[in-house]
Structure 1
Amino acid sequence: MREPLIGDTTCLKLLTLFIAFSAHPPVLQAIHHTFIPEKISMMAIVTIVGGTVGGYLTFSGAHRLLDAGIQGKEGQAQVTRSALSGIFISTLMRFTLFLAAVGVLISGVVLNKDNPAATIFQSAAGEAGLRIFGIVLWSAALSSVVGASYTSVSFFKTFHPIFIRHERLFISLFIILTTCVFVWIGKPTELLIFAGAVNGLILPIALAIILVAANNKRIMNNYQHPLWMQVSGWIVVVVMGWMGALALQEWVAKFF
């Protein structure tokens, strides 16, 4: 599968930074309320976390590294570099998009409920902003669709050899099936929020399984997972599990 070129990601970051600066966001106020928010919404936190690290993203990089033959202690350094670079880039993009949204909202713009993200880009930079939004969304969607489909199909490889022999075919069929479901249901904004919330609920479960596996000698051989990582991992499991339960109650009360 094609890896994103450095130029591709650099252009996307520059385009997003341009929109953020065009929106004139209140940076100091945003930093202040990042640590001292006026209102805490468990649903918002779980959705943001789920959209950032939950769901297929938790496994996508690991599956691709394994398919590339990068495994064992000798591959630990490369895995660490890949993980840290991915975390840094995704965090930078999230904060940049967040600042752009804050700048637009503070100026008094009312978001279009059918396409709120496009409203942010268009309000910040006019027609050029709308075109930039299309480029950014298309690029992100292309990589996400392929990555999510690849990861979903890779889970089935252990069930039957046919999934290994015809991996590309099953990935294509998965993309076609999910596209049909999406077109049938519609409501992209609601589906995106719902997917983020579900991913946020999946995250503590997946992390708990990984932490248990990390202490299994049959799986890890002589590797000893650092104690501080185990402790911090279980703290995340408990906190996100608690937040996920509260968010689920909030979601049920809102829609039912």
Structure 2
Amino acid sequence: MAEPISTSPTASAAARGGFLAAIFLMATSAIGPGFITQTATFTATLGSAFAFAILVSIVIDFVVQLNIWRITALTRSNASATANAAIPGSGYLLAVLVIVGGLAFNIGNIAGAGLGLNAMFGLDPKIGGAASALLAIGIFLSRRAGLILDRAIIGLGLLMIAMVVIVALSSNPPVGEALRQSALPDVIDFATITTIVGGTVGGYITYSGAHRLLDKGLVGEENLANVTRASLSGIIVTGIMRFVLFLAILGVVASGVTLDLSSQVANPAAQAFAAALGDWGMRIFGVVLWAAALTSVIGAAYTSVSFFDVFGAMTDGQRSMATVGFILVSLLVYVSLGTAPAALLIFVGGFNGLILPIGLTIFTYVGFARSDLMGGHRYNRPLLIAAAIVCALTWYMGANSIGGIFAFL
């Protein structure tokens, strides 16, 4: 059970650290290897028009994360428990979907880690993926796992942002054209939008930051203002990062470089970084992808296992072992798969985009009709209306993109 929040300076510093950790857990989960690979692939095929999908993903992210974080803080319960209390049985469905989606995502995350070490050192992707998965397991088995988890996510997140900014400044992208097409795109592709939304806010990513705050006891109406600010800060960080990464790759594509999207070993994001900065670009890409992948392995495992509680309360030790088991299963599936890593990373984003509307629908219902679960709090109506609109949009996009998503395999 979470410790009560004190008003002492030490407790205030701990609370700030908790909010910062939640921000970076959400941000690094949203900017994982799937998003990096998806961005390179779709920028190569759509060019500046992909800016529209980026903008849509940020708007959806804003609505989803703000509502999920706030309602989780008010209910003081994780997502599956809240869902079960609102609609009996729905929490089990949500848990199964998030866990399965998280497993699929984590296979892709481990694949991304392997690709990152391959770009840095020429290491076989499966060996690199295995080494990275074992490092993540080591973090969870540490006696100071919580502190190491928070510091690793924050440090790797800052490193990743700095590296992508360097490449964006070097590739000289057509910023004006990208801004125009973010509002008036030449092409709108629902499968692309659903995939990029799934890769940035679908599946487990929706709940990663909210559940981290829950574990740290930063909940209740007394913390609602801080939860709102933290959520907005995380969305701003991820939004800027998404556009900077897109611009970095767009500059390469606009210069006339053709990225290979067809071969079984295609790694379009690596090609873009290499085209921008040569051999150094490849090394920087490796660092960015590996950092994104490792933080996402940690985030996917941590958040997915947090949904296990709906099937029975777990001790901290049992939760740690379940997390280790979750990573090991992901690793074994990845090692045994014959699917190209880049194709896998695109598919899992789309798959998790199909899960998103289910959880958001449940939380929107809680906000509208179950104030009793939020301690009698009357939830912000404009935010709920926005959530209802996004619900309808994500259901529509999902229904219109299923075939396109599975085509990526």
| Count, aligned residues | 255
Q: Does 1:115 align with 2:263?
A: no
> Any conservation in 1 of the 2:168–2:247 contact (CA below 8 Å)?
yes
For residues 125 and 172 of structure 1, the distance between their equivalents in structure 2, rounded to whole angstroms, comes to 37
**How many Å apart are 1:23 and its aligned residue?**
0.9
**Which region of structure 1 is more displaced relative to structure 2, 24-33 or 80-89?**
80-89
Give 1:151's aligned amino acid: T
1:219 is matched with 373
Q: Does 1:178 align with 2:330?
A: yes
CA deviation vs aligned residue, 1:139-167 (integer Å, no higher than 9, x gap): 11111101100111110123223464411
CA deviation vs aligned residue, 1:191-249 (integer Å, no higher than 9, x gap): 11111111211111111111112231331122111111111110111111111111114
The one of 335, 341, 344 aligned to 1:188: 341
> Any conservation in 2 of the 1:156–1:163 contact (CA below 8 Å)?
no
> Any conservation in 2 of the 1:157–1:164 contact (CA below 8 Å)?
no
Q: Which runs of 5 or more structure 2 residues have no equivalent in the other structure?
A: 1-145
> Any conservation in 1 of the 2:305–2:319 contact (CA below 8 Å)?
yes
**How many Å apart are 1:7 and its aligned residue?**
5.5
**Which region of structure 1 is more displaced relative to structure 2, 86-95 or 75-84?**
75-84
Note the 1:1-256 alignment, pairs <5 A.
Answer: 1=146, 2-4=149-151, 8-113=156-261, 114-162=266-314, 164-185=316-337, 186-214=339-367, 215-251=369-405, 254=407
CA deviation vs aligned residue, 1:41-100 (integer Å, no higher than 9, x gap): 101111111111111111111111111111110121221122111111111111011111
For residues 372 and 361 of structure 2, the distance between their equivalents in structure 1, rounded to whole angstroms, comes to 18
Moved over 2 A (4+): 4-12, 160-165, 249-252
For residues 4 and 164 of structure 1, the distance between their equivalents in structure 2, rounded to whole angstroms, comes to 20
**Which region of structure 1 is more displaced relative to structure 2, 239-248 or 6-15?**
6-15
Give 2:290's aligned amino acid: W
> Any conservation in 1 of the 2:156–2:292 contact (CA below 8 Å)?
no
For residues 270 and 175 of structure 2, the distance between their equivalents in structure 1, rounded to whole angstroms, comes to 21
For residues 81 and 157 of structure 1, the distance between their equivalents in structure 2, rounded to whole angstroms, comes to 28
CA deviation vs aligned residue, 1:106-139 (integer Å, no higher than 9, x gap): 1121213311111111111111111111111111
**Which region of structure 1 is more displaced relative to structure 2, 70-79 or 39-48?**
70-79
For residues 16 and 57 of structure 1, the distance between their equivalents in structure 2, rounded to whole angstroms, comes to 21
**Which region of structure 1 is more displaced relative to structure 2, 155-164 or 30-39?**
155-164
Give 1:218's aligned amino acid: D
**How many Å apart are 1:11 and its aligned residue?**
3.3
> Any conservation in 2 of the 1:121–1:130 contact (CA below 8 Å)?
yes
**Among the aligned pairs, what percent are the same residue?**
43
Give 1:11's aligned amino acid: L
Give 1:200's aligned amino acid: G
TM (norm. structure 2) is 0.59
> Any conservation in 2 of the 1:153–1:163 contact (CA below 8 Å)?
no
SS of 1:166's equivalent in the other structure is helix
- Aligned pair in 2 of structure 1 residues 143, 251: CA closer, same or farther (>3 Å)? closer
